[in-house]
Structure 1
Amino acid sequence: MLEGRLAARPSAVLPDHLQRQLACRQGYRGRYAPSPTGRLHLGNLRTALLSWLITRLQGGEWVLRIDDLDTPRNRAGAEASILSDLRGLGLEWDGPLIRQSERRGLYASVLSALRRQGRLYPCRCSRRMLADVSAPHGSTQVYPGFCRDRATGWGPQQGRLPSWRLRLQPGALLWPEQLAGSGSLQAETEVGDVVLRRADGFLAYHLATAVDELALGITDVVRGSDLWSATAPQVAVMHELAGEPPRYWHLPLWRDEQGQRLSKRDGGFGLDSLVAQGLDAPGVVGLMAASLQLVPAGTRLSSQELLQHCSLEALQTALQRQA
C-alpha cells in the first residue's frame, strides 16, 4: 500500500482521520519526482538512474511521483515523455503512478489543520518588497518576519489574498545527509518562515513534498545538490507533523564541457536526441555510469546489469568523489 504511511509518530496537530494516515516507515522506499515541465535531460535521467540504484541496492521499493501542482508550468506531453524515457532505460517503478494533482485534498487537510492550530499566519509581503532581503551570508533569501505579528486577516485586501506562512521556532533544522556533508540550517537566520500556500491560491511545493515524503513512507530522497537548501523548509513541515525526515542524497550536478549545468531548455541532451545520435539504451546507461567512473568509458550495459555490477558502498564513494 502506498497510502497510510505518514511516518514516525502521530501529531497532535492533525485530526484523527489524518493521523490514521501516519505510520512508521517499514523497509526502504525511494522515489523519483519529476515535474512535467518538459523532456528530461541527461542530468535528470542520471538522477533517476541513481535513485533507482540506491533504492534497489537496499532491496527497497521505488515510487514514481509526478510533481504537477504548479499547473501553469506543466507542458502537454511532458508526463508521457517522462514515462517513456524511464521505461526505455529499464527503470520500472513499484505500484501505481502518483500525481500530486490528485492529492490536493490531503495537502489541503494538513494545511487547514495547521491553520486551526495557530501554526500559520497570513503574509501580504510582495516579491518586490522582499527583493532586497537576504540571509546574513548573502546566498539565500530569508523572510524577516514582517507579517508575523500583524493582524492582517485572511481575506482579500485590494483584490489580493495573502500567502500562508508556517511560523518556525528558532533552532537548527537537521536531516541525515549522505553526500553533502552535514544536513543543518538555522530556522531563524538561514530559512525563515515557510510559505505553505501561495498568494495565488496554489499549494506550495514545500508543503506537498513534505507531506508526500511522509505519506508515502519515503526513506531515501535522491536529488540534485541544487535542492540542498530546499531541504530545511521541508524538514520544518515534517517536524510540525511529528514526522522524521528521510535520508537525503544530494547529487553532484552533471555539467557540459563549458561547466554549465544541463537544463530542460537544452533539448540536445534528451534521450530522444541521444538515440537519434546512435546511442541505444545500454549506451546511454553506460554513458551515465561512466560519468561517475562506475564503469570504463564506452561501456554498454542495462540498468539491471549496472545494478549487479554496483554495491551501495562503491556507489556512495563514487558520488562523494564528485560532491
Structure 2
Amino acid sequence: MPDFADHAGRYAPSPSGDLHFGNLRTAVLAWLFARQSGRKFYMRVEDIDSERSSMESAQRQLEDLAAIGIEWDEPVVYQHDRGEAYASALAKLDTYECYCSRRDIREAASAPHAQPGMYPGTCRDLTEEQRAYRRSQLSQSGRLPAIRLRAHAERWTVNDVYKGEFTGPVDDVILKRGGNANQAQVGDWAYNLAVVVDDGYQSIDQVVRGDDLLGSAPAQAYLAHELGFPDPEYVHVPLVVTADGRRLAKRDGAVTLRQMAEDGGVQRVVEQIASSLGHPDVSSMGELLDRFDPLGLSREPWVWGISE
C-alpha cells in the first residue's frame, strides 16, 4: 500500500475530455490551498464511468495540469484499479437493494410530501417476499438491482472554510449501480462511494471543489463517518460561469488549455487564472503561491467573457 501523508488535498478530474478554464481554475485553487497549508497534494483520476472515460483523456488532463505549473505527489490513483476497495467498504455498510427505474423514482418523487431531489425510499422497507419478487422481475430482463445506503441520520453537518457550518439532508445514496447482469464492470460503482473511499485511502483531510457540490457534502461526510474516516475540511469555491449564469462548459468556445494556448501560449492562460483569483499582475504559479490569500478570494462566480 502506498504511504500517503496524514494531511493532504487533492484534485480529482473525470477523464471525459480536455479540462476547460473552470476545471483548471479549481485545480489551481485545490493546489494552492494544499501547498499553503503544508499538505501533500495528490491527483486522482475518477474513471469509474467506463463509458465516458479514457486513458488518453486522463493523460491529456495530467499533461495540461503539469503544463500550467501544478505539481503533485505520487502516486496518481486511478479509480478503475479500486474495485476491491469499494467492495470491501460496501460490505461494512448497512445497505439494501433498490429495484426502481429512473421513471419509478421520478414518479414517486412527484408525489405529495416527497422531498425534492431525494430518493423517496420506495425499496427501503420492502418485505423479503417483496424483494424476492422484485429481484426475479429484474432477473427475467437480465438486470441487477442497485445497492443503496440505508442512512440512519436525516441530516448531517459539515464545516466549510467559506460557508461555515452547513447542514443538509442525508439521502439513501446509490453505492453500486444496477444494470445488465451480463455487463457488470468497474463502472457499476457509484461516485458517492468511490469518492469517499478514495479520500479515506489517500488520507485526504481537505476537499477543495466547486460550490455547486456543497449540497452533496453532508451525505458524503455521513458516509465517511459510517466507514470510520475523519471529517475533512471542505472548501467550496465559486465556479466560472458564462454571462447568462450557466456553468462554463466546452460548448462555450475556446475554453480548454490547448485552445486558449493558441492565442498567447500557456503563460497567458496562467495569467488569466491568476487574474481570476484577484492577482492580475501575477504570471507564474510560484508567484501565485506566494501571494494568494484565501480570505481575499471573491465569493462570487467569475464570469467568462466579461471578467477575462
Q: Tell me the TM-score normalised to structure 1 length.
A: 0.82
**Quick one: distance in 2 between partners of 1:308 and 1:285?**
15
- Equivalents in 2 of 1:124, 1:163: separation in Å? 7
- Is 1:91 the counterpart of 2:70? The answer is yes
Cα distance, 1:283 vs structure 2: 2.0
- Kindly state the Cα deviation for residue 46 of structure 1 after the two structures are TM-superposed: 0.3
Would the alpha carbon gap of residues 113 and 315 (structure 1) be closer, same or farther in structure 2, given more than 3 Å must change?
A: closer
How far did 1:258 drift?
3.6
Give the 3 Å change call, closer, same or farther, for CA 208–136 of structure 1 in structure 2.
farther
How far apart are the structure 2 equivalents of 1:239 and 1:86?
A: 32
Q: Which amino acid aligns with 1:86?
A: L
Q: Distance in 2 between matches of 1:38 and 1:252?
A: 22
Cα distance in 1 for residues equivalent to 2:110 and 2:69: 43
Question: CA distance change for structure 1 residues 124 and 92 in 2, over 3 Å: closer, same or farther?
Answer: same
Q: How does 1:67-216 map to 2 (within 5 A)?
A: 67-75=46-54, 77-114=56-93, 119-132=94-107, 133=109, 140-150=116-126, 151=128, 152-153=131-132, 156-158=138-140, 159-187=142-170, 192-200=171-179, 201=184, 202-216=188-202
Q: Specify the code of the residue in structure 2 equivalent to 1:147.
A: C
Cα distance in 1 for partners of 2:110, 2:26 equals 30
1:100 is matched by which residue type in structure 2? Q
The answer to whether the 8 Å contact 2:277/2:298 transfers is yes
Per-residue CA deviations over 1:108-166 (Å, capped at 9, x if unaligned) read 1111233xxxx111110110011141699998511111111212146753322111111
The alpha-carbon distance between structure 1 residues 137 and 290, as it changes in their structure 2 partners (threshold 3 A), is: farther
Q: How many residues align?
A: 287
Q: Following the alignment from structure 1 to structure 2, what is the Cα–Cα distance between the partners of residues 281 and 246?
A: 33
Per the alignment, in what secondary structure is the counterpart of residue 286 of structure 2? Answer: helix
Q: Say whether the 8 Å CA contact 1:223–1:250 is kept in structure 2.
A: yes
1:285 maps to 2:267:
no
The secondary structure found in structure 1 opposite 2:229 is coil
Matches of 2:144 and 2:152 in 1, distance apart? Answer: 25
- Partner SS, residue 156 of structure 2: strand
Contact 2:114/2:120 (<8 A) preserved? no
What is residue 39 of structure 1 aligned with on the other side? Answer: 18
Q: CA deviation at 1:76?
A: 5.8
Distance of 2:60 and 2:175 partners within structure 1: 30
Alignment partner, residue 305 of structure 2: none
Task: Sort the Cα spacing of 1:164 and 1:281 in 2 relative to 1 into closer, same or farther, 3 A.
Answer: same
Cα contact 1:143–1:193 (8 A) shared by 2: yes
- The answer for unaligned runs of 5 or more in structure 2 is 303-308
Describe how 1:19-58 pairs up with structure 2 within 5 A.
Answer: 26=6, 28-58=7-37
Structure 1 distance, partners of 2:218, 2:112, is 17
Q: Select the structure that is richer in strand.
A: 2
Q: Rate the CA distance shift 1:135–1:265 in 2: closer, same or farther, 3 A.
A: farther
Where structure 1 has 5 or more consecutive residues not aligned to the other structure, the ranges are 6-24
Residue 139 of structure 2: SS of its match in structure 1? coil
Matches within 5 A, 1:187-266: 187=170, 192-200=171-179, 201=184, 202-266=188-252
Superposition TM-score, scaled by structure 2 size: 0.85
2:288 matches 1:309:
no
Conserved? CA contact 2:208–2:235, under 8 Å: yes
Q: Tell me, in whole angstroms, the C-alpha distance in 2 between the residues paired with 1:100 and 1:126.
A: 26
Given the superposition, is the C-alpha separation of residues 79 and 135 from structure 1 closer, same or farther in structure 2, using an over 3 Å criterion? farther
Deviations 1:147-204 (A, max 9, x none): 11212146753322111111111342121111234321133xxxx2111010125011
